[in-house]
Chain A
Amino acid sequence: MQFSFTEDQEMIRQSVVELVARACPISEVRAFGQSGAAYSDRLWQDLAGAGFLGALIPEAHGGSELGMLEAGIVLEVLGGALASVPYLSTAVAAADLIGRLGNDAQKAQWLPKIAAGQISVAIAGWSESASVSNDGQIQGNWAPVAHAAGADLLLAVLNGGGGNAQVVVLENSNADAMVEEFPTMDSTRRFGAVELAGTAGERLEKPLDPAGRARLGAILSAGAASEMMGGATCAMDMATNYAKERIQFGRPIGTFQAIKHMLADQLVALEGLRSIVWCALWSIDHAPEEALLAAVTAKAVADKVVLQIASENIQVHGGSGFTTDIDAHLYVKRAQLDRIVWGPPSHHTDFLEQRLAELA
């Protein structure tokens, strides 16, 4: 088993890095909060044009048939750039769900549009309190949901009985007004509060069995962890560059061991996170029984490490780190939301505790 990326994957990474640098400069990120857009359209179209939105979509439906690792690479770069696009929910989770559970008509209806960048999707995940009646009417609320405000489609994961879930696709048209803006401290993305009161949608034909639920959970956790990892790497780079340039007491502050060692510790932590994230992404297709555990572990580690690195970036910058003049605050605010929007930190540690207890 080879533990490094293939040449093709390295090329993809390089390609994504260049694309994102062009289409999503930091000036755009800073302005996003005021823009009122649901997501960065230019970046979304560029990703579509380069085939990245079709990473998990078969060629027959206009996709590029790459894989989870490639999707993870894209997520990492997007996270590092603080990009505001619903990649994880649309091109990864939704594409995977529709591709596996939809019938031919459903796949033909939505997959090509996803690959072409014509629609965005938000995921309203499994919720204890949500329910669906026999005639398809859904009751439930979810908040905060990433990218829900302004999304074209909502995928709701609901209890289908008999241990299975059903996935329902809902068109988010104005008439139904299912989504309200959910303001947060993270100005680089929009979040929504989803409320369904008797709304009906179209059910994907196949049910989501327990293995399928585990796969979805793994995709969301590992994908989020990958994005977070990208952000942490950029925060660490920012701190390191500043430490090399900022002179106090006659020398760069990075030469002081207090700073130097803090950054070294960050590098070590990040390397550890990298290992578990890639392991989790790889497992989704190659070792599915272990994927959820690996992914939840990756997310739990990311929850801790990423916020710490982003916070230390502010510490290294001193007073200026506490203002909006520099961008350090964006990474912290993003990390804070990443910790809760895919399930609160306790959710992941509780899951791990349970699995450990089962082993005993």
Chain B
Amino acid sequence: MSWDVRFTPIVLSERCETLRGEVRDFLAQQRKAGIIPEVPTRVGMDYSADFSRSLGERGWLGWRWPKAYGGHEGTALERYVITEELLATGAPVRAHWVADRQSGPVLLTFGSEAQKQNYLPRIAAGECFFCIGLSEPDSGSDLASLRCRAEKIDGGFRITGTKLWTSNAHRAHYMLALFRTAPATSENRRSGLSQFIVDLSTPGIEVRPVLNLAGEHDFNEVHFDGVEIPDDSLVGALNKGWGQASAELAYERSGPERWLSTYHLLARLVETLGPDSSEDIRRQIGELLVDLVTLRQMSLSVAGMLEAGKEPTVQAAVVKEIGTRFEQRIPRVAHQLLSARSDYDDQDNTVRDLLEHAILWSPAFTIRGGTTEILRGIIARGLGLR
């Protein structure tokens, strides 16, 4: 057994830094124009179809994809730089996020030529939005146990069942979903699953909102009652969808969005405490900075590995495991430091509003995209223990 989980240091190219400057200038203008809030009062990415389109117009979506499909043939590190600037500034990237980050890359790897021509350019233009159809009421961490089925019919498939926790299903155009197309075998419970693109405007699809504990509508329950989709909805090979979905999940785990969720709270906390803070406060803030900077270096390193064509599954799990716990730590420290101040309960204390929103969202960080417990299992496998 060798413990070979190293994070090779990455030096960003000049091109990356120039690109960073361009993105910063653009975002500064957007902030002046009020499209990005001056001071965020909520955590999480906001949804703006217009903004997504404007990014597409600037050529910053589909960054790594071939130009033949509307992409820009850029590098993973460049994409990383664009992403971290967007998130650190609070840009409303929700609408195109899933399509650009994972649905598109799945189609690029496993999709047919027709599918690539149909969807990729529109995603890169910021005009085509996807959501993820994986979890079900009885299948959370144990995805292979999913039951929503796609029966073969003449010219297509008939879908019956329910998907749950589908963020943005109420606003997306398409769902990239995993359905059961053949019974699992006792040797391999992951066989018999297939990936499909479902056009959400197809009749028979019922989308019901599931409010989160912050009272917001983000999640949905999506019910398929014998919904018929055409043959060309199938992505990749029939019954081989598990591997494709696993690759998709790996994409979902490796980016700076896994440790930047509560960054704005940190920025406002620092601004509120100010330069005359005590030694103890400086130490606490410093410790948060240390983790932030460490996570950034690890993410950069993972982006470098993706660039080199590697599959850094364990590294990505490490980043997410540490990153999401870090995201939860910021509100805890902020609460401790801010609630001791006399202005904490003022009516117009917008930092407190942001803090409370972060507190409400905190539990989600270590659950979504793979729970902490599951991630540790992945790392344990990387250590040769499983």
Contact = CB atoms under 8 A, between A and B. Distances in A.
Interface size, B (range): 35 or more
Contact of A144 (B141, B219, B345): B345
Interface string A302-346: 000000000100110011011111000100110010011000111
B17 interface: no
Interface string A285-297: 0000000000000
Given A144-B345, A258-B376, A345-B339, A248 B140 contact: yes
Given A258-B376, A323-B212, A345-B336, A185 B360 contact: yes
Given A144-B345, A346-B336, A248 B141 contact: yes
A19 interface: no
7 contacts: A185-B356, A259-B373, A314-B367, A315-B367, A323-B211, A323-B212, A333-B213
B364 A322 contact: yes
A17 B281 CA distance: 44
B142 interface: yes
B167 to A, nearest CB: 10
Interface string A214-254: 00000000000000000000000000000000011110010
Contact of A336 (B142, B359, B373): B359
Contact of A319 (B211, B367, B372): B367
A315 B372 contact: yes
Contacts of A193: 345, 347
B345 A315 contact: no
A336 B368 CA distance: 22
Given A248-B145, A340-B339, A324 B213 contact: yes
Contacts of A143: 345
B91 to A, nearest CB: 24
Given A249-B142, A344-B339, A345-B339, A321 B363 contact: yes
Contacts of A323: 210-213, 219
B178 to A, nearest CB: 16
A193 B335 CA distance: 20
A119 to B, nearest CB: 26
A321 B367 contact: yes
A256 interface: yes
B129 interface: no
A318 B367 contact: yes
Contact of B140 (A256, A319, A336): A319
Contact of B142 (A248, A258, A344): A248
A247 B372 CA distance: 18
B265 interface: no
Nearest to A321: B363
8 tightest A-B CB contacts, nearest first:
A329-B213, A248-B142, A344-B339, A346-B340, A314-B363, A258-B373, A319-B165, A143-B345
B366 interface: yes
A315 B362 CA distance: 10
Interface string A47-58: 000000000000
A340 B142 CA distance: 38
A220 B363 CA distance: 29
Contact of B212 (A256, A259, A322, A340): A322
B135 interface: yes
A315 B360 contact: no
B124 to A, nearest CB: 30
A185 B353 CA distance: 10
Interface string A87-118: 00000000000000000000000000000000
A46 B211 CA distance: 34
Nearest to A322: B364
A258 B372 CA distance: 10
Given A248-B140, A248-B145, A323-B210, A311 B362 contact: yes
Interface string B236-253: 000000000000000000
Nearest to B328: A311
Interface string B321-350: 000000000000001100110001101000
Contacts of B364: 322
B356 A344 contact: no
Contacts of A259: 373
Nearest to B338: A344
Contacts of B362: 311
A332 B339 CA distance: 17
A131 to B, nearest CB: 16
B359 A315 contact: no
A256 B219 CA distance: 27
A182 B210 CA distance: 27
A319 B166 CA distance: 11
Nearest to A144: B345
A213 to B, nearest CB: 21
B164 interface: yes
A333 B214 CA distance: 10
Interface string A175-194: 00000001001000000010
Nearest to A332: B363
Interface string B258-287: 000000000000000000000000000000
A185 B340 CA distance: 19
Contacts of B372: 315
A250 B339 CA distance: 45
Contacts of B344: 340, 344
Interface in B137-162: 138-142, 145
A315 B328 CA distance: 12
Nearest to B164: A319
The residue among B164, B367, B368, B371 with the most chain A CB atoms within 10 A of its own CB is B367
A247 B135 CA distance: 14
Contacts of A325: 210
A358 B9 CA distance: 50
Contacts of A321: 363, 367
B215 interface: yes
A324 B145 contact: no
A182 B352 CA distance: 14
A143 B343 CA distance: 11
A19 B207 CA distance: 41
Contact of B371 (A182, A247, A318, A333): A318
Contacts of B368: 319, 322
Given A248-B141, A256-B373, A322 B359 contact: no
Contacts of B366: 315
Contacts of B135: 319
B363 A322 contact: yes
Nearest to A311: B363
A158 to B, nearest CB: 18
Given A256-B373, A311-B362, A318 B210 contact: no
Interface in A162-211: 182, 185, 193
Contacts of A318: 140-141, 367, 371
Contacts of B340: 344, 346-347
